């Protein structure tokens, strides 16, 4: 069994209701869970807007998702909760979240108590839901992605994710 399949099986066994959210269509055409202090999040939001979409912008530090919504997003992304944890600039180490023995439920509890632990930006469209790191990941989720985009740091991104 490949490692990814084992993770999915473990996640579904540990948190069986993840499975019901996989492959669900978004009720909102484009939604971004955004942190305006994050350059990756700002670049992602700008690429969405340049594609002709005006997304629903949720500043998740001010308005964190409910537990049910967070579980839904994790399920739609097809990742384990640990893959959504942000380490840098958070209480990750202080809380001992590097302990591989922690359950998915415990990791979600930590994200609910400390929303800064939720990595961003998360983008949800009719084409899927993804953690958009790097920011050009969003291009695959958009109907009319920009051909070329220059990030805040000067990096040039072309449709298809190629960077200069």
* Whole-number Å distance between alpha carbons of 64 and 87: 18
Domains of the chain: 3-163 (3.40.30.10)
Bridge partners of residue 109, in order along the sequence: none
* Whole-number Å distance between alpha carbons of 49 and 43: 10
3-state secondary structure at position 72: helix
Residues with a catalytic annotation lie at 38
State the 10-residue block means of pLDDT for the chain, 164 residues long: 43 49 56 97 97 97 98 97 96 97 98 98 97 96 94 88 52
Copy the structure tokens of residue 75: 């399920």
- Record the pTM: 0.80
Q: Interior CA angle at 154 toward 153 and 156, to 5°?
A: 125
């Amino acid at each position: 069994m490949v490692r990814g399949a084992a993770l999915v099986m473990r996640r579904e066994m540990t948190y069986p209701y993840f499975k019901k959210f996989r492959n669900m269509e978004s009720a909102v055409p484009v939604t971004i869970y955004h942190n305006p202090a994050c350059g990756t999040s700002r670049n992602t939001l700008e690429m969405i807007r340049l594609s002709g979409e005006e997304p629903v912008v949720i500043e998740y530090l001010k308005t964190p998702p409910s537990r049910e919504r967070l579980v839904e997003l994790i399920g739609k992304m097809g990742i384990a909760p640990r893959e959504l944890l942000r380490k840098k600039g958070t209480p990750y180490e202080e809380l001992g979240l590097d302990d591989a023995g922690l359950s998915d439920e415990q990791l979600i509890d930590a994200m609910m108590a400390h929303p800064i632990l939720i990595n961003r930006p998360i983008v949800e469209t009719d084409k899927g839901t993804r953690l958009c790191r790097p920011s050009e990941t969003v291009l695959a989720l958009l109907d009319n992605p920009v051909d070329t985009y220059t990030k805040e740091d000067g990096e040039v991104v072309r449709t298809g994710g190629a960077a200069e």
